[in-house]
Amino acid sequence: MKQKYEYKFVRLGEGWLGAKRSADMEYQEQIRLHAQDGWRLVQVFAPGMGAYGAAKYYELILEREVSPPLCHG
């Protein structure tokens, strides 16, 4: 059977000129917390839309396997 995955997107540090400094440390804690629930980090997305091309926010992209439903036969 082919494995299925679900995805979660967590946005951090959204600011007007650039991502807030708090996001630099918060992302590590968020990854640890989500890992406890079976999520694994796939990618950190940081679009350059703030001042001087700086990232306006960070978005963590997480995935985990979806367990197949139990068959009661």
11 within a domain of the structure (yes/no): yes
Kindly state whether residue 73 falls inside one of the protein's structural domains: no
Please give the backbone phi and psi of residue 71, each rounded to the nearest 5 degrees, phi first: -90, 125
Reply yes or no on whether the pLDDT at 58 is more than 90.
no
What are the angstrom distances between the C-alpha of 56 and each of 5, 27, 37, 47, 65?
28, 14, 28, 7, 30
Considering the domain boundaries, does residue 69 fall inside one?
Answer: no
Q: Is residue 53 part of a domain?
A: yes
Give the residue-averaged pLDDT of 35-43.
97
How high is the pLDDT of residue 72?
66
Q: How many domains does the chain have?
A: 1
Q: Is the pLDDT of residue 47 over 90?
A: no
The H-assigned helical ranges of 1-73 are 22-35
Which residues partner with 62 through β-bridges?
8, 41
Domain range for 39 is: 4-64
Mean pLDDT of all residues in the chain?
83
Of 14 and 62, the structure prediction assigns the larger pLDDT to 62
22 occurs within a structural domain:
yes
The whole-number average pLDDT for the span 68-72 is 71
pTM, two decimals, is 0.76
In a domain, 34, yes or no: yes
Amino acid at 39: W
